[in-house]
Amino acid sequence: MLNFASLPPLSLYVHIPWCVRKCPYCDFNSHEARSDIPEQEYIDALLRDLEQDLPRVWGRIVHTIFIGGGTPSLFSPEAIDRLLSGIRARLPLDQNIEITLEANPGTVELERFKGFRTAGINRLSIGIQSFDEEKLKALGRIHGRAEALRAAEAARAAGFDNFNFDLMFGLPGQSVEQALADMRTAIDLHPTHLSAYQLTIEPNTLFHARPPTLPDDDITWDMQSRLQTELATAGYRQYEVSAYARPGYECRHNLNYWKFGDYLGIGAGAHAKITAAGDAQGCASAARGGMPGAAITRLWKVKHPNEYLRTAGMPESIGGEQKLSRHDAAAEFMLNALRLVDGFPSPLFQERAGLPISACEPELALAENKGLIEWDTRAIRPTPQGRRFLNNLLELFV
């Protein structure tokens, strides 16, 4: 049984599955738009989907919204405005809510960004990946260097004072100096947040079927180390494995994931994680001093856009549902929270996993003995060695 003193913070993820072209490294639920995107029909489906999920979160405030994909910036500002208006009509939102929209260069221009800003988007995440023409072609991106630079300039001109760039390193044929050149170009554009990911080959991707030649492990480690130094010198603090931010601009939505908060997920293939009381009185029991016998439920929606459009708002739209066991809750908390550079305060484990920290004591002791974590009464955090060999650390809890 799980026992919570209160409910964790709640976020909302919205998935828009269409993109102009499927990138060869992408294993997300994204689909090429081979004809006109059914924009209005999909917004209707999203709002039906949300209404179906409302009983799971009655009375709870949403603190962040993230609209991801696919390429959400393919949707018009008017459609995004209707979506956000529909969400506001159905859910109480935090007064200082963070609302992020993913955008790709090549699908945006200044007026479109201004429209998103007017609709209520207050944070952008722009999928740059690289500023190198050759590397962008190797990644199958639809934009070039000029479009990437224009997208960055348009974001600021449209009034966004909070935006992220996604960059990748360890690209086919990439040298350390080329990776540094990408990062320096990004830093010169003054984003408030940077995500730097190593390219990995995932199953069910074109790169998995026809793998490119990637830099070896020593070169990619050198890249990562030097990129971290470059970012720190420029005033970006690393707070998660792949995330760097100016002070106060950490992504609140992703922090909620990493701290094992709750989130609704609407859209084709969207996932949700919801903590709920184990009695018929639902969320209100939390206000009476705890929720013994509570449960954490994961659920996900059907993946294909056509099936989702047909079933949204009906039970058939639920692709699957799972209640987490004690082991699952403990393991999933650690898989998320140990990605954070500062780790987590020890009481957070009880708050979010519903278990005493002693439930993980053998694994924590083993990780400490291996030099992968630092552990005291106040906090548990990965060591530099634990961050470098993160997979080895996380495997101890699976």
Query: Residue 331: CA atoms inside 13 Å, Cβ hemisphere, count?
Result: 10
Domains of the chain: 2-253 (3.20.20.70), 341-398 (no CATH)
Residue 249's pLDDT is what? 98
Residue 278's pLDDT is what? 65
> For 357-394, how does the pLDDT look when each residue is reduced to its tens digit (9 = 90+)?
999 999 999 999 999 999 887 899 999 999 999 999 99
Distances in whole angstroms, Cα of residue 271 to Cα of each of 55, 135, 180, 200, 301: 17, 32, 35, 22, 7
Tell me the C-alpha distance between 370 and 355, whole Å: 24
> For 80-125, how does the pLDDT look when each residue is reduced to its tens digit (9 = 90+)?
999 999 999 999 999 999 999 999 998 778 999 999 999 999 999 9
Distances in whole angstroms, Cα of residue 217 to Cα of each of 198, 265, 282, 322, 370: 11, 35, 50, 37, 22
- Give me the residues of the chain with pLDDT under 70, please: 278-290
Residue 31's pLDDT is what? 86
